[in-house]
């Protein structure tokens, strides 16, 4: 037994593992057409690294979509900075260029421009990214694309994640491309990626001993998960095609329903259709909750959309810029929208059942005196 021990090819083993990470980074870089990519442990870690590279620190502001996961904004807090939340616009549900401009103008007046703008492509659908990029250039504030939902989404012929100064993907459990846990940081500036790689590995210097000029993080992706990513990459196109079919069939099913609307697709955008979301006109949040409960009771797994971050108790007191003076688009969406099942293996009959039950739930809610105020 012992004599075998020396034969275990430890080093080639190691190289094999490293190659999985390099391969994963290379394939994602080629696919999205960006110069630099770093595989990391999570999408959150990727955002954190981007903020650290932009030298976001205490006393700084960072603008952030409000209709997004808390993971978009937590790294702002990790850096000791303050988030400023930006509303959605009604036609794309994504960051409103109108609200963003208001926020930037006020920042100019206060001599406090943000260090970055974090833009989420909600549920795989891209918003007015060109307008946001124009504003970013005018005001000289870098854009971080939170493309955690949007792997494979095209915006005017270019992939989401490749359009900003930085882009991030998440490969978390329920994301379109999943490695169980994981993420990636993208940048057209390979110096940023070189520095991020350094920070992600405890900022260890190239010395024969442990040597550090600064503190970093343990953010490197596990090679085992990169290997999973390499396997999963081959399924992305098929998944997106299936998701698109699911979306389109829902579209057909609700075409004649006056009260029901789908998450919109803008001209020039080819989404990955990660989630199908339906809004119901004229419902109150209480009625929406009744609809939700009815569907769950029928074993139809629906969920509320993300609750706007400016409504989260943890972010109470931070500034929020809404799209319109009269109402907040993100709040309105939260009160009227549900994510409906959109798994790649869904059958047409299952989708018909979802819509039938949704309509049935609306009738029940309509007839219930409990929720009419
Ligand atoms: C999932 C997600 C993230 C973070 O990704 P993790 O890999 O879970 O850290 C960031 N932003 C959005 C919008 C997400 O949904």
Query: Could you write out the three-class secondary structure of 278-325?
Result: EEECCCCHHHHHHHHHHHHHCCCCCEECCCCHHHCHHHCCCCEECCCC
Q: How far is the CA of 150 from the centre of ligand 1 (A)?
A: 11
A 10 A CB-CB count for 153 gives 23
Q: Which residue has the higher pLDDT, 8 or 219?
A: 219
Kindly name the residue from 29, 175, 239, 243 that is annotated as catalytic. 175
- What is residue 170's three-state secondary structure? strand
111, exposed or middle or buried, with CB in 10 Å at 0-12, 13-18, 19+?
exposed
Distance from C-alpha of 333 to C-alpha of 124, rounded to nearest angstrom: 16
pLDDT-based confidence at residue 44 (cuts at 50, 70, 90) = very high
Enumerate residues 6+ apart whose C-beta is below 8 A from 182: 39, 40, 41, 42, 170, 171, 172, 221, 222, 225, 226, 229
Q: Report residue 174 as tokens.
A: 């329920």
Mean per-residue pLDDT, 219-229: 97
Q: What is the pTM of this model?
A: 0.93
Nearest atom within ligand 1 for CA of residue 71: 10
CA terminus-to-terminus distance, the chain: 77
Q: Report residue 228 as tokens.
A: 């999973």
Distance from C-alpha of 295 to C-alpha of 228, rounded to nearest angstrom: 34
pLDDT of residue 153 exceeding 60, the answer is yes
Q: How far is the CA of 259 from the centre of ligand 1 (A)?
A: 31
* Residues facing residue 207 across a β-bridge: none
146 lines ligand 1 (CB under 6 A): yes
Whole-Å CA distances, 41 to 224, 225, 363: 11, 9, 46
Q: Report residue 261 as tokens.
A: 């609307």
- Among candidate residues 144, 94, 137, 97, the one with its CA nearest the CA of residue 117: 144
Distance from C-alpha of 183 to C-alpha of 45, rounded to nearest angstrom: 7
Distance from C-alpha of 259 to C-alpha of 363, rounded to nearest angstrom: 12
Distance from C-alpha of 86 to C-alpha of 215, rounded to nearest angstrom: 32
pLDDT in tens, 121-139: 999 999 999 999 999 999 9
49 and 78 Cβ atoms separated by less than 8 Å:
no
| Phi, psi angle pair for 39, to nearest 5° | -80, 130
Q: What is the dihedral of CA 33, 121, 81, 143, to 10 degrees?
A: 40
Mean per-residue pLDDT, 181-208: 95
Q: Report residue 349 as tokens.
A: 């009959």
Enumerate residues 6+ apart whose C-beta is below 8 A from 259: 280, 281, 282, 362
pLDDT-based confidence at residue 8 (cuts at 50, 70, 90) = very low
H or E element, residue 184: strand 183-187
145 lines ligand 1 (CB under 6 A): no
302 and 339 Cβ atoms separated by less than 8 Å:
yes
Distance from C-alpha of 273 to C-alpha of 344, rounded to nearest angstrom: 10
pLDDT-based confidence at residue 18 (cuts at 50, 70, 90) = low
pLDDT of residue 173 exceeding 70, the answer is yes
**pLDDT value at residue 208:** 86
Dmax over Cα atoms in the chain, in whole Å? Answer: 81
pLDDT in tens, 230-268: 999 999 999 999 999 999 999 999 999 999 999 999 999
Q: What is the dihedral of CA 209, 212, 215, 219, to 10 degrees?
A: -40
Mean per-residue pLDDT, 32-46: 98
* Residues facing residue 339 across a β-bridge: 277, 303
In eight-state DSSP terms, residue 207 is: S
Distance from C-alpha of 308 to C-alpha of 69, rounded to nearest angstrom: 8
Q: Catalytic residue at 239?
A: no
**pLDDT value at residue 289:** 95
In eight-state DSSP terms, residue 159 is: E
Nearest atom within ligand 1 for CA of residue 45: 9
**pLDDT value at residue 368:** 65
Q: How far is the CA of 92 from the centre of ligand 1 (A)?
A: 20
Q: How far is the CA of 76 from the centre of ligand 1 (A)?
A: 14
Q: Report residue 84 as tokens.
A: 């400023």
């Amino acid at each position: 037994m012992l004599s075998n021990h020396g034969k275990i090819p430890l080093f080639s083993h190691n190289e094999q593992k490293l190659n999985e990470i390099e391969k994963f980074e290379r394939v994602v870089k080629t696919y999205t057409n960006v110069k630099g990519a770093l595989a990391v442990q999570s999408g959150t870690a990727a955002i954190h690294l981007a903020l650290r590279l932009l030298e976001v620190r205490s006393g700084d502001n960072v603008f952030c979509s409000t209709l997004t996961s808390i993971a978009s904004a937590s790294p702002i807090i990790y850096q000791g900075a303050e988030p400023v939340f930006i509303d959605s616009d009604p036609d794309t549900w994504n960051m409103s260029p109108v609200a963003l401009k208001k926020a930037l103008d006020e920042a100019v007046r206060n001599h406090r421009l943000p260090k970055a703008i974090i833009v989420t492509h909600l549920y795989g659908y891209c918003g007015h990214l060109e307008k946001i990029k124009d504003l970013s250039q005018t005001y000289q504030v870098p854009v971080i694309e939170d493309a955690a939902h949007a792997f494979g989404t095209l915006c005017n012929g270019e992939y989401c994640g490749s359009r900003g100064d930085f882009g991030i993907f998440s490969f978390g459990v329920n994301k379109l491309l999943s490695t169980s846990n994981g993420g990636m940081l993208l940048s057209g500036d390979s110096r940023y990626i070189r520095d991020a790689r350094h920070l992600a590995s405890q900022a260890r210097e190239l010395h024969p001993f442990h040597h550090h000029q600064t503190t970093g993080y343990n953010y490197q992706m596990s090679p085992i998960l990169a290997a999973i990513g390499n396997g999963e990459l081959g399924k992305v196109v098929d998944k997106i095609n299936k998701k698109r079919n699911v979306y389109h069939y829902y579209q057909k099913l609700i075409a004649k329903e006056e009260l029901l609307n789908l998450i919109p697709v803008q001209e020039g955008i080819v989404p990955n259709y990660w989630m199908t979301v339906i809004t119901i006109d004229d419902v109150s949040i209480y009625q929406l909750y009744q609809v939700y409960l009815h569907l769950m009771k029928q074993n139809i797994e629906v969920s509320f959309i993300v609750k706007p971050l400016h409504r989260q108790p943890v972010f109470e007191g931070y500034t929020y810029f809404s799209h319109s003076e009269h109402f907040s688009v993100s709040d309105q969406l939260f009160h009227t929208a549900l994510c409906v099942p959109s798994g790649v293996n869904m059958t047409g009959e299952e989708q018909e059942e979802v819509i039938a039950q949704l309509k049935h739930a609306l009738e029940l809610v309509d007839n219930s005196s409990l929720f009419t105020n």
